[in-house]
Structure 1
Amino acid sequence: MNCLIWNYQVIVNNRTRYALKSLIQKHKASLVFLSETHCTKLQHQSLLKSTGLSQIAHFDRVDRAGGLALLWDASISVNVRMVDRYFIDAIVKGPDQVEWRFTSFYGHPETKRHHNSWDLLRSLAGDPLERWVVAGDFNEILELGEKSGGRLWNLGQMQAFRQALTNYHLEDMGAAGGSYTWCDSRTKERLDRCTASSTWWAAFSFSRVVHLHPSRSNHVPLLLEVRCVPPGHERRRRQFRFEEMWCTHDGFSHKHQRSRAIWLKEGNRNTRYFHKRASNRRQKNSIKGLFDQEGTWQEFSPGIEKVVLEYFQSVFSSQPSNLVAQDTVLQAISPRNTVSMNASLLAPDTTEDVREALFQMHPSKAPGPDGMSPFFFQKYWDLVGQEISNAVISMLRRMEMLPDLNFTHVVLIPKVKEVTTMSHLRLIALCVVQDCFQSCG
């Protein structure tokens, strides 16, 4: 489902309402939050007809200012819990039948009263494990990079906002598109955003926020795409992964291995911490879509796979070699290996060489395609060591590798917060057996 969040700043004339309806239809928004509507009760009610949505909750303007509205269609269920001058709090159940809490929020516009907004967040905060989204115009920035031009921003204000999100277990969701959501003739700032709890991210890890193009307001509309699977995908069968917890005591949290917090060695000291780290990694490493060579956004699996394939075909395609130039370069290089070093390199591989290579790997690093991490082979070396050594040594001597073993997961690691092109990704390959061969050979 898609949610539209917008500080519209007056929505009482036909042209602005038409612009809103066009956005709702174009992006198939089933839930819409509007702030600073400046609408009376009757004007709010008339929004249903002009937008084509079916239900509305609203807080009417005060002294011709303010006004909030939350609208939704019949495809989702919304249970409004509280309506206030600065927020509308509701429980949402989308087509996937997963319930989550959506608080549409409007931060106090006066700088000296921003602390009131953070106090309000405190009063709204509930169970830290609740699936919760708070979205809207916070009238505050998190860091100096979210502002361009205008007066200097108070560092204490930003710190107070950051601390409020941390205290109430919310994280900024980031956004694709432009860097700012509000502007005037001299200043640009990112005042509008979506924040979410780690448990919401765990349930909807393929979600994203998009800054849409400005339309009849000095605030940019935000589109929140709520997705628990990639667009156009069904849930795939989860691959087998060996868990270290199977070899330890009953109280050990399996999220230790997933969180990769290597410095915290043992014990279920902070289950919530592990859960958050594991969920954050999943969200950060998800590819929501990519631009292809023609600049077209691809967000469905076949399109993304084509973009990746074409990119690496271009990067790794071989070119004709200049053999004369190669010989010239090699002749200019003086040998550095001594006779004894060369003899050591050419010596037959032994079982101890294989063991040494394997035990140099970190036990909890990413497993290979078979789902086995180095921990398994290290833990049960007495049982599987001889068989593994025989296989490795045999293949190294014959200079051949079985096709089933010469296989790897190609993994793309994000280099930036919001991935949109292949240049934003770094390639690594995960193959435990192959790494072992290379270390031995």
Structure 2
Amino acid sequence: MKILSWNCQGLGNPQTVQNLLLLVKDKTPNVVFLMETKLVASKVEGIKRRLGWEGCFVVDPMGRKGGLALLWCKEKEVEILNYSQHHINAMVRSEEKKMSWLLSGFYGHPVVSKRKNTWDLLSLLNSASEMPWCVIGDFNEILCQTEKMGGRPRPETQMVDFRKALDDNRLFDLGWKGNKYTWSNKHMDSTFTKERLDRAVANLKWSETFCDRVVETLNVVQSDHMALMLDLRQQYLVNRKRRRLFRFEAKWIRDEEGAGVVERAWRRADVDPNPIRNIQRKLNGCKGDLIRWGNSKDKEVIALLK
């Protein structure tokens, strides 16, 4: 399954609609989430028919601003749960996995003073479900200064609020493939600025279910925003050997050497402003170190037995 997310900044322009149709034809997503459509439901329905798709849900814009749309290829794949001017919440049925998961198309408030309201919205969406959950869209915020190039530095308080919103809701950034920066002001002078405003995040249940997912940034002609393609890559799992689960062996910690492996892994320097990601990195590093050390000890035992 593939989910396409794009802040299209107005579907009233025929060229924008043509870019969307070409994008869908080329990348073959199953679901498309659009932000700033600036178009009423009846007009978006026309785009659905041009795609030859079966499902469409629209949040009408407020005057000439905003507007969201979720379109999907097969009627039975998606069920709309709730919505607002800043989100569309849907249940997605995965035939390959024989399961359902929660998809939230999300649009962070463009006005800084009101952005905290959308972080509160994230918490409301989180409290409504303990299912595998993925959130994708334009958050209108960055996590750290390295996600911005050019222009004035982002106020630290804004980034702290965003990081806290993700941490509080146990959502992890799914990363990217391609261009890091998803928005640009397109200026051709010293005021040129680009930022990573669009992203996909998910909870642990979702991440463990779709461990081979990829988030790719896609360039769209004449658009300030790049599109995101979340590819769950289930087709690649069919013939792949099942990955061996990591299990901690109690004997490792009883060995002085093993205890040292854990201690060294945990003392590695923090390199990420997000404390959750730092813990994840240390856990993964500790796991790898223990597997390598454990394998070497097993080989020593086998050699002695011979």
Q: TM-score, normalised by structure 1?
A: 0.57
SS of corresponding position for 2:127: coil
List aligned pairs for 1:310-325, cutoff 5 A.
Answer: none
Q: Which has the larger radius of gyration?
A: 1
Structure 2 equivalent of residue 9 of structure 1:
9
Offset of 1:100 from its aligned partner? 1.1
SS of corresponding position for 1:366: helix
Contact 1:48/1:54, CA 8 A, preserved across alignment: yes
Contact 1:3/1:223, CA 8 A, preserved across alignment: yes
CA–CA separation in structure 1 for the residues paired with 2:240 and 2:152: 49
365 and 11 in structure 1: CA distance in 2 versus 1, 3 angstrom threshold = same
Structure 2 equivalent of residue 236 of structure 1:
241
SS of corresponding position for 1:61: coil
- Equivalent of 2:230, from 224, 229, 232? 224
Counterpart amino acid of residue 8 in structure 1: C
Offset of 1:277 from its aligned partner? 4.6
SS of corresponding position for 1:83: strand
CA–CA separation in structure 2 for the residues paired with 1:20 and 1:223: 13
Counterpart amino acid of residue 41 in structure 2: K
Structure 1 equivalent of residue 212 of structure 2:
206
Contact 1:203/1:228, CA 8 A, preserved across alignment: no
Contact 1:128/1:197, CA 8 A, preserved across alignment: no
Offset of 1:133 from its aligned partner? 0.6
Offset of 1:228 from its aligned partner? 4.7
Offset of 1:177 from its aligned partner? 0.8
SS of corresponding position for 2:224: coil
Structure 2 equivalent of residue 253 of structure 1:
none
373 and 99 in structure 1: CA distance in 2 versus 1, 3 angstrom threshold = farther
Structure 1 equivalent of residue 107 of structure 2:
106
Structure 2 equivalent of residue 197 of structure 1:
203
Contact 1:88/1:103, CA 8 A, preserved across alignment: yes
Higher RCO (CA < 8 A, seq sep 6+): 2
Structure 2 equivalent of residue 187 of structure 1:
193
Structure 2 equivalent of residue 155 of structure 1:
156
* Cα-to-partner distance string for 1:395-418 (whole Å, 9 max, x where unaligned): xxxxxxxxxxxxxxxxxxxxxxxx
Counterpart amino acid of residue 163 in structure 2: R
SS of corresponding position for 1:12: coil
Contact 1:207/1:227, CA 8 A, preserved across alignment: yes
Structure 2 equivalent of residue 389 of structure 1:
304
SS of corresponding position for 2:30: strand
Offset of 1:108 from its aligned partner? 0.4
Offset of 1:76 from its aligned partner? 5.9
SS of corresponding position for 1:224: strand
197 and 22 in structure 1: CA distance in 2 versus 1, 3 angstrom threshold = same
The answer to whether the aligner puts 1:87 opposite 2:92 as a matched pair is: no
Structure 1 equivalent of residue 291 of structure 2:
365
List aligned pairs for 1:7-406, cutoff 5 A.
Answer: 7-74=7-74, 77-96=77-96, 97-126=98-127, 130-184=131-185, 185=187, 186-228=192-234, 231=236, 233-239=238-244, 244=249, 277=280, 281=284, 364-366=290-292, 374=297, 388-389=303-304, 391=306
CA RMSD of aligned residues (A): 3.2
SS of corresponding position for 2:304: helix
Counterpart amino acid of residue 147 in structure 1: K
Counterpart amino acid of residue 148 in structure 1: M
Percentage identity across aligned positions?
Answer: 32
367 and 195 in structure 1: CA distance in 2 versus 1, 3 angstrom threshold = same
156 and 237 in structure 1: CA distance in 2 versus 1, 3 angstrom threshold = closer
63 and 390 in structure 1: CA distance in 2 versus 1, 3 angstrom threshold = closer
CA–CA separation in structure 2 for the residues paired with 1:40 and 1:112: 27
SS of corresponding position for 2:292: coil
195 and 240 in structure 1: CA distance in 2 versus 1, 3 angstrom threshold = closer
SS of corresponding position for 2:159: helix
Offset of 1:130 from its aligned partner? 2.8
Contact 1:205/1:227, CA 8 A, preserved across alignment: no
Contact 1:194/1:209, CA 8 A, preserved across alignment: yes
Contact 1:181/1:192, CA 8 A, preserved across alignment: yes
Counterpart amino acid of residue 239 in structure 2: E
Q: Greater share of strand residues, 1 or 2?
A: 2
* Cα-to-partner distance string for 1:219-243 (whole Å, 9 max, x where unaligned): 10111011357x3752414559786
CA–CA separation in structure 1 for the residues paired with 2:201 and 2:284: 17
Contact 1:32/1:72, CA 8 A, preserved across alignment: yes
CA–CA separation in structure 2 for the residues paired with 1:67 and 1:152: 29
Contact 1:366/1:373, CA 8 A, preserved across alignment: yes
CA–CA separation in structure 2 for the residues paired with 1:159 and 1:112: 14
263 and 82 in structure 1: CA distance in 2 versus 1, 3 angstrom threshold = farther
78 and 262 in structure 1: CA distance in 2 versus 1, 3 angstrom threshold = farther
Contact 1:7/1:35, CA 8 A, preserved across alignment: yes
CA–CA separation in structure 2 for the residues paired with 1:264 and 1:187: 38
Offset of 1:48 from its aligned partner? 0.8
Contact 1:21/1:52, CA 8 A, preserved across alignment: no
Counterpart amino acid of residue 114 in structure 2: R
25 and 243 in structure 1: CA distance in 2 versus 1, 3 angstrom threshold = same
* Cα-to-partner distance string for 1:195-238 (whole Å, 9 max, x where unaligned): 11121111101001111113232110111011357x37524145
- In the alignment, structure 1 segments of 5+ residues that lack a partner are 249-256, 266-272, 286-361, 379-384, 392-441
CA–CA separation in structure 2 for the residues paired with 1:390 and 1:113: 68
